[in-house]
Amino acid sequence: METPIDMIPRRSKLDSIMANLRNFPPFRVSREALIVVSLFLVAIVGYIDYLTGYERPLLLFYLLPISLAAWFGGFLTGLGIAVVSIAVSMVSDVAAGIPALGFWNAGMAFVSYALFAGMLSKLRTLVGELDRRVQERTAALQREVVERQRLDQEIAQVADRERRRLGQDLHDRLGQHLTGTALAAQVLKDKLATRSAPEVTEAEKLVRYVEEGIDLTRNLARGFFSLELEADGLGVALEGLAENISERFAINCIFHGEEPIPVRDSAVATQLYRIAQEAATNAAKHAAAENIDIRVTADGSELTLAIIDDGVGFPDKVSDSKGLGLRLMRHGAALIGAALSVQRNGRSGTTATCKIRIPNHSESSFAI
């Protein structure tokens, strides 16, 4: 049974909905329109109060216009609508033939309305302050995310530059030094052979060891030093990677992919190459794989890079403190907004999959 080990999710639909809600313009109404609407509601409640003839139960319904006025217009606006509500209530009772409320009852109703308007206005103020703080915190988090993305890009550029520099040093300095050493050892072996010295065998071993060191240095330099990929050079680079893995580890590594691969960003192409390089190298070095397939497929707006091997298989549990290669693959996928998963391939072998969205021809020309 395949067990997914790691997954970097894409931005969820809920995040998009919340972002759209935050960008939705807030509801605003002018004070004049608010007063007109509130007075209209007071008139409706007063007319119903007149028709029903009830004395006190409808006092509760005057809270609706008072609430609107206090919430959107502030305490003073709500207090004014409360005064109007008391007056309309008394007028409707008199018109319906009901004895008017006493000043004590009217005063109690006014105090209740005033307290309600005050609490509602204070609640509105607190909600506005909370909303302001949330917006400020959201803006700060967005700035931090942008800054972190910028730093991640800079770190990736520095890492690639140092990688190329190290590969160049291995090739130009250490490689040339070992080549000179091999020539000197070959000259020494020839001189000893001319004299028929018994040390000729040891000299041959020395020459062989130095030549093996040259080959190892070249392989290391080839792994470290790779030119920055052009957007349309990913297929060629992956094919070269398969040939390098096959030659370096004496295994069967094959690349299967479409030509041309629909990637229009050199940074994305470089990170996909790094992920494939890390996965294939780990499979050959640590998983004892004999066959490795590097596949690139495009399905609509999604590009999939898969590295499949027949090695010992990925462990069910991986310690977070180990697995530098896996962390590098995660980081590379996160830089380009891709989804990375590494899972067992049945009873043996591992499948590393990296999926990234690619724009359609109908979409804008932004690179992935």
Question: Does 4 reside within a domain?
Answer: no
Helix axis angle, 31-52 to 63-73, nearest 10°: 170
What is the pTM (predicted TM-score) of this model?
0.53
End position of a domain, from candidates 149, 169, 190? 149
Question: What pLDDT, on a 0 to 100 scale, did the predictor assign at position 293?
Answer: 94
Question: Does 38 reside within a domain?
Answer: yes
Residue 5, pLDDT above cutoff 60:
no
Task: Name the DSSP class of 4.
Answer: B
Question: Does 234 reside within a domain?
Answer: yes
Residue 219, pLDDT above cutoff 80:
no
Q: What is the pLDDT of residues 271-297, one digit of tens each?
A: 898 899 889 988 988 888 999 999 999
What average pLDDT does this structure show over 171-178?
A: 80
Residue 91, pLDDT above cutoff 50:
yes
Distances (CA, A) of 242 to 36, 165, 167, 221: 76, 23, 19, 16
Lowest mean pLDDT, pick from 13-22, 281-290, 346-355: 13-22
Question: What pLDDT, on a 0 to 100 scale, did the predictor assign at position 224?
Answer: 65
Question: What pLDDT, on a 0 to 100 scale, did the predictor assign at position 7?
Answer: 41
Same domain assignment for residues 64 and 178? no
How many distinct structural domains can be found in the chain? 3
Question: What pLDDT, on a 0 to 100 scale, did the predictor assign at position 230?
Answer: 58
Domain that holds residue 206: 155-223
Same domain assignment for residues 104 and 145? yes
Determine the Cα–Cα distance for residues 206 and 113; give it in Å rounded to an integer: 101
Residue 232, pLDDT above cutoff 70:
no
Question: What pLDDT, on a 0 to 100 scale, did the predictor assign at position 16?
Answer: 60
Determine the Cα–Cα distance for residues 263 and 331; give it in Å rounded to an integer: 19
Pair of tokens at residue 122 = 């204070």
Question: Does 119 reside within a domain?
Answer: yes
Question: What pLDDT, on a 0 to 100 scale, did the predictor assign at position 252?
Answer: 93
Question: Does 367 reside within a domain?
Answer: no
End position of a domain, from candidates 149, 167, 182? 149
What is the residue-averaged pLDDT of the chain? 79
Question: How much of the chain exceeds pLDDT 70, in percent?
Answer: 81
What average pLDDT does this structure show over 61-71?
A: 89
Question: Does 15 reside within a domain?
Answer: no
Q: What is the pLDDT of residues 26-44, one digit of tens each?
A: 556 788 888 899 999 999 9
End position of a domain, from candidates 122, 149, 176? 149
Domain containing 309 — which CATH number? 3.30.565.10
Q: In which band, very low, low, confident or very high, does the pLDDT at 214 lie, cut at 50, 70 and 90? A: confident
Same domain assignment for residues 233 and 300? yes
Question: What pLDDT, on a 0 to 100 scale, did the predictor assign at position 23?
Answer: 56
Residue 357, pLDDT above cutoff 80:
yes
Smallest Cα–Cα separation from 83: which of 151, 35, 127? 35
CA angle 43, 83, 93 (to 5 degrees): 55
Question: Does 203 reside within a domain?
Answer: yes
Same domain assignment for residues 112 and 193? no
Residues whose CB falls within 8 Å of the CB of residue 358, separated by 6 or more in sequence, listed in order: 262, 263, 298, 301, 302, 303, 368
Question: What pLDDT, on a 0 to 100 scale, did the predictor assign at position 353?
Answer: 94
Residue 169, pLDDT above cutoff 90:
no
